[in-house]
Amino acid sequence: MTLGMFDGVHRGHRALLDSLIRKAKNLGSESVVITLNPHPRIVLSGSDSSLRFLTSLEERIDLMEEAGIDKLVVIPFSRELSRMPACDFIKKYLVDIIGVEHLIMGFDHHFGYRGYGDAVTITECASNYGFSVNRQKPLKEGNEIISSTTIRELIIEGSLSRANRLLGYPYLLKGKVVEGKKIGRMLGYPTANIEPDYPYKLIPADGVYAVQVLLDSLSYKAMLYIGPRPTIEYSNSKRTIEVNIFDFDNDIYKKNITVRFLHRLREDKKFSSRQELLDQISKDKAEAMRLMDS
């Protein structure tokens, strides 16, 4: 088994999960992952509204299933649990409840009270309770370790291609279609405004993106805008997420929608006129189609 938050379930995580699955098969046992929900930083920070993560629990579950693990155990995180010493946590959950034979740890993983559960502590606990343990080496892209922190920083700064490469899949956003101001329709490009399902979901940098939309089990090509619409709104307008699905004009209000970010076309900017904005949107659509067709 292994344990951790696995935010993003990125390529580094997948390398660890692949090792877990191989080891379980060699032992003739099951591969088990323990994770926590909500994220400890949410609980310990007092629900800090500035916190953002790559994946919700639902998305982590889907990605773990795709990875091929046998079981995912989700432990509710609380302040009380945060005060539990690492060896007590191991005894209660890993030994008594799950019956761990072998523990694979991430290269930088710490857990238990104040993060005191490090490699030395865990090795001592493993010896006391009769299971083996090893620490996974980090996966690197060039000279850089693949980490959730690095990927979050890339998405914030707009480096989507690099973020997707480290993730190993297109960055995802799930949400519900909500009513907007219908400005896109007035411009000739009807858009669906998206309200993310997960309040702590990291939203990519402002700009225009080529995306794939999953809706009612069907897939569509689309372009998506993130930003405050500076050309047609006031300077202090709220940031919006709106998607124009190509060759599509159905009413999808209140429906669930999934967006896969494929390419960042450009950053957001204020145009001198609506016509200049329309001309750019036409170019954006052509470029999105070219990229997705290739």
Tell me, what CATH number does 37's domain have? 3.40.50.620
**Average model confidence (pLDDT) across the chain:** 92
The span from the first CA to the last CA of the chain, in angstroms, equals: 41
Q: Which amino acid is at 245?
A: I
How confident is residue 154, by pLDDT bands cut at 50, 70 and 90? very high
- Whether residues 261 and 138 fall in one domain: no
Q: Which of 37-46, 115-124, 161-170, 223-232 has the largest mean confidence?
A: 161-170
**Is the full-model pTM beyond 0.85?**
yes
- Please state, for a pLDDT cut of 90, what percent of the chain lies above it: 76
Using CA of residue 141, residue 120, residue 115, residue 1, what is the dihedral sign? Answer: positive
Half-sphere exposure of 206 (CA within 13 A, CB side): 10
Mean pLDDT of 188-193: 90
pLDDT of residue 112: 57
pLDDT reported for residue 113: 55
Band (67; pLDDT cuts 50, 70, 90): very high
Q: Tell me: the pLDDT tens digits for 229-252?
A: 888 876 567 899 999 999 998 989
Q: Domain boundary residue among 145, 179, 197?
A: 145
> What residues have CB less than 8 Å from 257, skipping those under 6 apart?
174, 175, 176, 177, 192, 194, 213, 214, 215, 243
Report pLDDT for 181.
77
259 has pLDDT over 70:
yes
Q: Tell me what pLDDT residue 45 has.
A: 87
Statement to judge: residues 50 and 100 lie in one domain: yes
Task: Note the pLDDT tens digit of each residue in 71-93.
Answer: 999 999 999 998 988 889 999 99
Range of the domain at 287: 170-293
Domain shared by 91 and 126, yes or no: yes
Task: For residue 117, name the pLDDT band (cuts at 50, 70, 90).
Answer: low
Number of domains in the chain: 2
Query: Which pLDDT band holds residue 188 (cuts at 50, 70, 90)?
Result: confident
CATH number where 243 lies = 2.40.30.30
Indicate whether 60 belongs to any domain. Answer: yes
Which of residues 90, 111, 145 is at a domain's end? 145
Compute CA distances 68 → 27, 49, 89, 149, whole Å.
Answer: 16, 33, 26, 24
Domain boundary among 145, 180, 207: 145
The mean pLDDT value for 189-216 works out to: 96
The whole-number pLDDT of residue 293 equals 94
Contact 263/161 with Cβ under 8 angstroms? Answer: yes
